Structure 1
Amino acid sequence: MPVLAARGPVLVQFFDFSQLNSVRTLPYLAEWDRRYRERGLTVLGVQSPRFEFGADPDLVAAGLERLGVGYPVLVDRDRLLWESYGCEGWPSLFLWGKGGILRWFHFGEGEYRATEEAIRESLGPPGELSGLPAPMDPVRPIDAEGVEVIAPGAELFPAEGRPWSRSIDGAGFDVEYEGGGVHATVEGTGLLKLALDGETIAPVPIDGAGLYTLAEHKRHGTHRIGIELEGDPRIWSVSFSPAPAASGH
């Protein structure tokens, strides 16, 4: 990264556009790009496929467009860059300072304020950085310091890790989970018809490969979601997001 970093700091994020933890960080990357680009920051994404379809440049481009990602993204098809950086999961973040010096790194979600502070420090001496905006507010309430959050249930891989797909319209399955939301990594097109805790809720249209939110809750809890497939979607994983602890927990 020395050539790029010679002109200013470079923030490199290894991520997967269809993976929950990665997608939850993207609003921060987009805002840092907007805030600090004119101050010399370069933001680069590296799409490191977790599932087979994540190596297809066309599917990746369409997915990034739906997510509104505006900074450059490289597809690391065989995860060679991922391995050379020593990434330890999705997402993995590295901040290179001027001259190619590694100033900061972080694996996973979180540490957003610390990351932004590292970005600001890498832009130059404090006396040369007048007019910078205040650090951004948390995107979600659970990102704020001091909020009690309960870890959600473990990610599920239908059909023992193989993509789960319908044999006929209306085929589906139920998932019981603990957390603040449920999401599915899906490829293809069609419709997911949903029932949450026995009640029908709005279906989710599938218009390409990516991560789709099925249901979200204000507080951590135990729920059951039923998923029926119409059309030709393929479910690769079902994942769960955290939420604040229920009152009195």
Structure 2
Amino acid sequence: MGVTYPVALDNKLTTWNNYRNRFWPAKYLIDAKGTVRYFTFGEGRYAQTEDLIRTLLKQADPDVQLPPKTGQKDPQLTKDRTPETYLSNHRISGYVGDPLLDNKPKAYRFPTAIPVNSLSLDGTWTAGYQYFTAGENARLAFTYRAKNVNLVLAGEGTVTVLVDGKTVKTIPVAGTPTLHRLVDESTARTAHLELKVTPGIQAYSFTFG
């Protein structure tokens, strides 16, 4: 890929946990003295982040010669799309159904209707601050508008994906948090997603494109 500089890997989530990180993606800028100067969660703010990187490089070496700015503008990632949604009991948006119980297993039931840009739970789930953990007969439903749907998953097991009641795939899950493509269509549309999740699987966040 033409990358000539060192890239740190965090396969055991040591850095993730030491920063008490809860979001995907997350960006942290650290200056030449090792001080965290900026952080931001979720997609976007690319131009602002680039400006701050350039500022910190100049502070570290006033004589540094930087390349021209990329001029990148934040794309309208969620325009006419369901917004990014974190499965966090303190940060979830668009949730409908039985009240969430913090950090303890609870049996949930789908409501009679799930509006667009909303999700709900069925079966047993543990709703944590960083992720939701599936229990027995765990299902998750999401009425979304997008072309593709992604979900960060961890643990060991499988997730069966249904769109508008039809099974489209079964995804094997193994190991640390990884982004999985659930739905990939040629055009954006409104649809009803349902996931059947193996007990022990951890679900972190949805993104839509």
Alpha-carbon distance between aligned partners in 1 of 2:84 and 2:49, rounded to the nearest angstrom = 27
Alpha-carbon distance between aligned partners in 2 of 1:146 and 1:161, rounded to the nearest angstrom = 30
Q: Which residue of 1 aligns with 2:64?
A: 128
Q: Does 1:195 align with 2:136?
A: no
Alpha-carbon distance between aligned partners in 2 of 1:197 and 1:217, rounded to the nearest angstrom = 13
Corresponding residue to 1:74 among 3, 12, 15: 15
Alpha-carbon distance between aligned partners in 2 of 1:101 and 1:209, rounded to the nearest angstrom = 27
Counterparts in 2 of 1:103 and 1:119: CA distance versus 1, 3 Å:
same
- Does the 8 Å CA contact 2:125/2:135 hold for their aligned counterparts? no
Counterparts in 2 of 1:234 and 1:214: CA distance versus 1, 3 Å:
farther
Alpha-carbon distance between aligned partners in 2 of 1:200 and 1:226, rounded to the nearest angstrom = 9
Q: Does 1:118 align with 2:49?
A: no
TM-superposed CA distance for 1:160, in Å, is 4.5
Counterparts in 2 of 1:184 and 1:157: CA distance versus 1, 3 Å:
farther
SS of match in other structure, 1:114:
helix
TM-score, normalization: structure 1? 0.46
Corresponding residue to 2:172 among 199, 205, 223: 205
Aligned length, in residue pairs: 164
Counterparts in 2 of 1:238 and 1:114: CA distance versus 1, 3 Å:
closer
Structure 1, unmatched stretches of 5+, are: 1-29, 48-59, 65-72, 244-249
Q: Does 1:178 align with 2:144?
A: yes
1:153-196 Cα offsets, whole Å, 9 max, x none, are: 85456635353245xxxx5636132243142534113x333321
Higher strand share: 2
Moved beyond 6 Å, runs of 4+: 42-45
TM-superposed CA distance for 1:148, in Å, is 3.0
Counterparts in 2 of 1:134 and 1:157: CA distance versus 1, 3 Å:
farther
Corresponding residue to 1:234 among 178, 196, 200: 200
- Does the 8 Å CA contact 1:182/1:238 hold for their aligned counterparts? no
Q: Which residue of 2 aligns with 1:148?
A: 79
Alpha-carbon distance between aligned partners in 2 of 1:237 and 1:126, rounded to the nearest angstrom = 44
SS of match in other structure, 2:15:
strand
SS of match in other structure, 1:161:
strand
Structure 2, unmatched stretches of 5+, are: 88-119, 128-132
Alpha-carbon distance between aligned partners in 2 of 1:217 and 1:161, rounded to the nearest angstrom = 31
Counterparts in 2 of 1:44 and 1:117: CA distance versus 1, 3 Å:
farther
- Does the 8 Å CA contact 1:174/1:227 hold for their aligned counterparts? yes
Counterparts in 2 of 1:108 and 1:213: CA distance versus 1, 3 Å:
same
- Does the 8 Å CA contact 2:121/2:140 hold for their aligned counterparts? no
Higher helix share: 1
**C-alpha RMSD of the superposition:** 4.3
Letter in 2 for 1:223: A
TM-score, normalization: structure 2? 0.53
Alpha-carbon distance between aligned partners in 2 of 1:177 and 1:213, rounded to the nearest angstrom = 16
Counterparts in 2 of 1:175 and 1:111: CA distance versus 1, 3 Å:
same
Letter in 2 for 1:120: R
